[in-house]
Amino acid sequence: MSHRDDDHKEPDLVSLLSGDQRAELTLLIATATERMRRNITEIFDAPAPAPAPQPTPPAAAKDPAAEEEKGGAKDTAAEKEPHKKSIRLQELQKTALTSFDAWSSAVLQRISEAVHSDVTPTEQTRLLRRASTIASESPAPAVPEIYAPIPTPLTSSLPPDYPPMVLHALLLLLLSLERYDARSRVLLLITASSLHVPAHHLITQETQTAHVLVKAAQMSGDEESKARSDASKSSKWWKVGLASVAGAVAIGVTGGLAAPLVAAGVGSVLGGIGLGGTVAAGYLGAMASSGAIVGTLFGAYGGKMTGEMMERYAAAVKDFAFIPVQTRAERLRVTIAISGWLTGPEDVTAPWGCLNGNADVYALRWELDALLDLGSALQTILKSYAWGYVKSEIIKRTVFAALWGAVMWPVALLKIARVVDNPFSIAKRRSEKAGRVLADAIVNRAQGERPVTLVGYSLGARVIYSCLLSLAERGMFGLVENVVVMGAPVPADADEWRRIRSVVAGRCVNVYSESDYILAFLYRTSSIQLGVAGLQRIGVSGVENVNMGHVVEGHLRYRYVTGMVLKDILGEDVEREAVEKEERELKLVMRREEEREKEEGGKGQEEAEGEIDSVVDKAEKELEERRRKRTALEEERKQAMGE
């Protein structure tokens, strides 16, 4: 049938696809959701490989900081209660599957309504059940790649320009559920892979759709302002504050009054992809008829991420704020990047310049003073000419052996430990609290109803670890799409990582380096019997492990390799030019380190140990001066408030 033959019949999935093709599309979606469900069960069912035996720190080597692990991983308590831990995991699996089934049921029903709109609801239900049955009986992929394509006849039967249109129609249908669930995006990526549509096509469609929704909501606000003077005083009016970093825009919204205009705005743009304008708006459902719903989707257009909502978290964690990394432009996804130590306030955002505008990118600023103290102590010591000797002494003890036997340490290591242990312990404890606050912000939709990707290195990775454990404890699924932790100073305990994996819909990546002697040194007082994620693989189904040992010899290298790591994981979301710049900076850093080590190599042990005294003294004085200035500023602030 020609679409031009009937002006009243706009092209939609029913008219574009034959009956068999629509059945195959339904089967493809059902198979993809069934695979996603299997991935959840495998997280809990697949046994983790037995961990290599790790030495327990001797009593003489214990440090007060060892107790701080209780707030995050709770590994000591878990070891004493293996049965209770197993029961908790079973309960989490049940909760995760219940949540997934509710989501998949809503998704399949919505798509079936659109794909089979020419048949009765009873027949739709029958077709859907048949597709779900076939999908559940299909074999799992040999390699559990999360976005691996599913074989489908559609790849050969559809004209080349149809798959992108089908994908966009599915995007609109999923948005009509009034949220962009992280699982919905994973489903779209599997569908795109199966239909041979490159990922960048989906990103383009997301960007276009976000722009249109925001524009249409603003148009509805303009129209509503004109009609407001004629409205009855008894009518129910309310406003939704829409804000962005660039400026705030307030629009009035009524329940349904602006629907025709919003639908026209959406249809006029989205209709250009091949679907009919009215059809595109119809697929969006209430999303195309309510600025309030659009505002909710975007978290009041990002205002919650940077505005008053964040103020209530300041009492729990100092300097807790989301700082935009890129120029603000509403997107259907959010990325939150978290640094783990700072040499200056600019390090909150600087490492994340490699992330482009495919998502709304924010850097999390948290406990600025604590991270600056840690960065200052590490930089003062690592940039000294005496560091070469200290490094050699650490490496002699290897990552998992004598490093924890403090009674065997030379005096030089004890002096260095005195300087770095306290700032690291303070920041480490606070990272756990920051993670729980971040989870609270995500649960309360600071990012709106959009999927979140979390990336972080060092203690920033620990913030993410704590956040995900908190989300798992609350049973909050479908909020987090991807997670990348680099050099994470957290336990490698398999059960804790199963909890984490259960709340991540997309990729969960642990980036580690067996050569990270600094992390081993900093983390030595913690519960190392469970291993350290930043130093080894995580043996849990669905957790990807990336060994960066060839680049990351010391922990501070992560600051200069974020783009290099993320380009192979987040792909289209990383700016290649920024990565190239990062690689040049890394080469300079490595050259300077080599020069210092060469100069240090000509000195004897006594000379090196003598220099350590002055380096330690300098580091301690710098930390004391920083704290003194902060105290003085705080006193001035209190006096000003009192006046």
The full 3-state SS of 348-368, as one line of letters, equals HCHHHCCECCCCEEEEEECCH
Per-residue pLDDT at 489: 94
Per-residue pLDDT at 420: 87
Residue found by looking up tokens 């964040």 in the block: 310
**What is the SS3 assignment for 1?**
coil
End-to-end CA distance of the chain: 79
- Average pLDDT (41-55) is 62
- Give me the residues paired with residue 363 across strands: 323, 337
Cα–Cα distance between 48 and 462 in angstroms, integer?
A: 22
CA–CA distance from 608 to each of 209, 518, 618 (Å)? 62, 19, 15
- 546: confidence class by pLDDT, cuts 50, 70, 90: very high
Q: Which residues contact 304 (CB under 8 A, 6 or more apart)?
A: 310, 445, 446, 447, 448
Q: What is the number of other CB atoms lying within 10 angstroms of the CB of residue 249?
A: 15
Residue 285 has pLDDT above 60, yes or no: yes
**What is the SS3 assignment for 222?**
helix
> Maximum CA pair distance of the chain?
93
Residue 252 has pLDDT above 50, yes or no: no
Cα–Cα distance between 503 and 611 in angstroms, integer?
A: 49
Q: Which residues contact 379 (CB under 8 A, 6 or more apart)?
A: 343, 556
- Give me the residues paired with residue 510 across strands: 485, 545
Per-residue pLDDT at 24: 94
Task: State the chain's mean pLDDT as an integer.
Answer: 79
Per-residue pLDDT at 306: 59
CA–CA distance from 309 to each of 70, 367, 383 (Å)? 29, 18, 40
Residue 139 lies in a domain: no
**What's the token pair of residue 553?**
């010899």
**What is the SS3 assignment for 338?**
strand
Highest-pLDDT range among 39-53, 161-175, 200-214: 161-175
Residue 232 has pLDDT above 60, yes or no: no
Residue 221 lies in a domain: yes
Whether the CB-CB separation of 36 and 118 falls below 8 Å is answered with no
Per-residue pLDDT at 466: 97
Q: What is the number of other CB atoms lying within 10 angstroms of the CB of residue 122?
A: 8
- Give me the residues paired with residue 321 across strands: 365
Lowest mean pLDDT among 143-157, 168-182, 392-406, 501-515: 392-406
- Average pLDDT (302-312) is 58
Phi, psi dihedral angles at 298 (to 5 degrees): -95, 10
Q: What DSSP character marks residue 341? A: -
Cα–Cα distance between 182 and 146 in angstroms, integer?
A: 13
- Average pLDDT (446-450) is 92
Residue 544 has pLDDT above 90, yes or no: yes
Cα–Cα distance between 365 and 25 in angstroms, integer?
A: 44
Residue 141 has pLDDT above 70, yes or no: no
CA–CA distance from 507 to each of 142, 312, 440, 454, 491 (Å)? 18, 31, 22, 10, 19
Per-residue pLDDT at 239: 29
Per-residue pLDDT at 256: 37
More confident residue, 185 or 357: 185
Residue 376 lies in a domain: no
List the domain range (segments joined by +) for residue 279.
216-225+239-300
Q: What DSSP character marks residue 63? A: -
Per-residue pLDDT at 405: 56
- 158: confidence class by pLDDT, cuts 50, 70, 90: very high
Residue found by looking up tokens 């722009």 in the block: 211
Residue 585 lies in a domain: no
Per-residue pLDDT at 311: 63
- Where would I find the beta strands (DSSP E) of 313-464? 321-324, 334-338, 360-365, 452-457
Residue 270 has pLDDT above 50, yes or no: yes
Per-residue pLDDT at 253: 31
Per-residue pLDDT at 51: 46
Residue found by looking up tokens 């948290």 in the block: 366
Residue 390 lies in a domain: no
3-state helix, strand, coil in the chain (%, to 5): 60, 10, 30
Q: Which residues contact 244 (CB under 8 A, 6 or more apart)?
A: 301, 302, 303, 328, 330
Q: Are strands 452-457 and 508-512 parallel, antiparallel or unpaired?
A: unpaired
What CA dihedral angle connects 245, 249, 254 and 260, to 10 degrees?
-100
Cα–Cα distance between 474 and 470 in angstroms, integer?
A: 6
Residue 262 has pLDDT above 80, yes or no: no
Lowest mean pLDDT among 252-256, 357-361, 479-483, 544-548: 252-256
- 401: confidence class by pLDDT, cuts 50, 70, 90: low
Q: Which residues contact 133 (CB under 8 A, 6 or more apart)?
A: none
Phi, psi dihedral angles at 543 (to 5 degrees): -95, 120
More confident residue, 75 or 339: 339
- 82: confidence class by pLDDT, cuts 50, 70, 90: low
Nearest to 49 by CA among 537, 585, 412, 603: 537
Residue 642 lies in a domain: no
pLDDT digits (tens, 9 = 90+) for 589-629: 788 777 766 766 655 666 766 777 888 888 888 888 888 88
Whether the CB-CB separation of 167 and 281 falls below 8 Å is answered with no
- 127: confidence class by pLDDT, cuts 50, 70, 90: confident
What CA dihedral angle connects 378, 384, 390 and 392, to 10 degrees?
110
- Average pLDDT (475-493) is 96
pLDDT digits (tens, 9 = 90+) for 184-216: 999 999 999 999 999 999 999 999 888 888 877
Per-residue pLDDT at 631: 81
pLDDT digits (tens, 9 = 90+) for 14-35: 988 999 999 999 999 999 999 9
Cα–Cα distance between 37 and 477 in angstroms, integer?
A: 13
Counting the structural domains of the chain, the total is 1
Lowest mean pLDDT among 145-159, 334-348, 549-563: 549-563
- Average pLDDT (541-562) is 88
More confident residue, 329 or 582: 582
Cα–Cα distance between 192 and 210 in angstroms, integer?
A: 19
Cα–Cα distance between 61 and 121 in angstroms, integer?
A: 69
More confident residue, 581 or 510: 510
Percentage of residues in the chain having pLDDT higher than 90: 42
Residue 28 lies in a domain: no
Per-residue pLDDT at 246: 28
Nearest to 369 by CA among 341, 350, 349: 341
Lowest mean pLDDT among 63-67, 132-136, 298-302, 614-618: 63-67
pTM: 0.85
Residue 339 lies in a domain: no
Nearest to 226 by CA among 257, 255, 256: 257
More confident residue, 176 or 393: 176
Per-residue pLDDT at 134: 78
CA–CA distance from 367 to each of 378, 406, 556 (Å)? 17, 30, 19
Nearest to 503 by CA among 439, 429, 432, 428: 439
Per-residue pLDDT at 248: 27
Percentage of residues in the chain having pLDDT higher than 70: 74
